[in-house]
Structure 1
């Protein structure tokens, strides 16, 4: 584990490095492993107490304290201040850097794909659990809860897991107008704010780059908002070239 990226000028106050490099495999594992990282992320550049983080994560104080002691030993966490009180004093902790860089060589991953899988596994599982709960709450009639696949003369249009029957079933499309968009009912005012859809777009390089930047701007637009009565939402945006099966690898 290394310190600042470059030394400070003589006499200048020491500033924490923006990117702390983690070459120690044990320290690198904290950031590379999705499960362990969830205990560390609440402390990144924020002063936190063990009890507050335990409530945020929905785990016991003992579980968080175990991880805090581990992060202290690895030099990833520091005590910022101690608040005296009757009995045991309350300690506040904060990560030792605003940002961390884990080189691939410091991880135990056998490939880039394996590192990507391990790093995102916990986030993906959280999204899946949240979606499953939300979908289950919306399924008023379980008989219509299932997979709906629809296409037209141009090819596949949508394949989605839905908790309701679309307004017009694809099997009946030849009897009248084209079926309504599968996810339209979710956009109704009384429906909860849920969106989960995967589709293939045919774009030029310029159009794909524009969409990439729009997605980034959209996420930034809603990030960091603070207002009474807010509910936490998980947002995952993905855009990638859709490789043919023979090029995608195992």
Structure 2
């Protein structure tokens, strides 16, 4: 039964193509490599269109497309003839994929999560370091705020030097189950809003720019 509060409604792993081939699993199961497959899921796009969507060069996209063709993750759906080189159009071989952990090149689940999260966390760390460094506020504080809460953390600015909003907070809190559920729903709503805005940018206002949105609320088991 689908969770109505899920940030990924309508996705049932049991209905997706199960990836068993190691070469396919190396791409689909990797958060960074799979990014280049995402534009083609259930859609037909050219290399140029996919490159524009991802914000990468056509040559980088073409390299990835060829790799995905080699392992049968993509198929060519049509060839648009024109003067000069024809344009090929691609689509994912399946509408969606599920990669079991045992098909990926990791020792166990913890090894996979650790390896993949480390790579993703590096992007967050790089972006956060840049914000702190350019704000001139790169130290760390231990103080009580006006609400009486103690903070032992950095003090990142609420806006960077270009006026872009910033929020980066890691904090341990004691919550009832009801309060934790409420915060989880707020995070899920933020993710939905971000993805919706990314798909349908407003015509007015500043042009869209890439942001890293990293939300988590997890039961903590002190070691």
> 1 or 2 for the larger relative contact order (CA 8 Å, sep ≥6)?
2
* 1:233 aligned onto 2:203: no
* 1:26 aligned onto 2:28: no
Contact between 1:33 and 1:119, CA under 8 Å: does it hold in 2? yes
1:39-188 equivalence runs, <5 A: 39-57=36-54, 59-139=56-136, 144-150=137-143, 157-162=150-155, 186=158
What's the Cα RMSD here? 2.9
In structure 2, do the counterparts of structure 1 residues 59 and 213 end up closer, same or farther at CA, with 3 Å as the change threshold? Answer: closer
Contact between 1:32 and 1:115, CA under 8 Å: does it hold in 2? no
**For 1:235 and 1:67, how far apart are their aligned partners in 2?**
25
Judge which range, 231-240 or 126-135, deviates more: 126-135
Summarize deviations over 1:148-188 as a string: whole Å, max 9, x none: 23359xx983233336xxxxxxxxxxxxxxxxxxxxx6279
Partner SS for 1:88: coil
**For 1:209 and 1:84, how far apart are their aligned partners in 2?**
54
TM-score (norm 2): 0.76
Alignment partner for residue 208 of structure 1, among 180, 183, 187? 180
Contact between 1:34 and 1:120, CA under 8 Å: does it hold in 2? no
* Structure 2: tracts of 5 or more residues without a match: 1-13
Summarize deviations over 1:175-232 as a string: whole Å, max 9, x none: xxxxxxxxxx6279x9531100011111112221222122212322343122132333
Alpha-carbon shift at residue 107 of structure 1 (Å): 1.2
Partner SS for 1:197: coil
Partner SS for 1:149: strand
Judge which range, 130-139 or 56-65, deviates more: 56-65
TM-score (norm 1): 0.69
Alpha-carbon shift at residue 40 of structure 1 (Å): 2.1
Tell me the equivalent position of 1:244.
Answer: 222
Contact between 1:82 and 1:90, CA under 8 Å: does it hold in 2? yes
Alpha-carbon shift at residue 65 of structure 1 (Å): 1.9
* 4+ residue runs over 6 A deviation: none
**For 1:49 and 1:137, how far apart are their aligned partners in 2?**
39
Aligned residues: 201
Partner SS for 2:143: strand
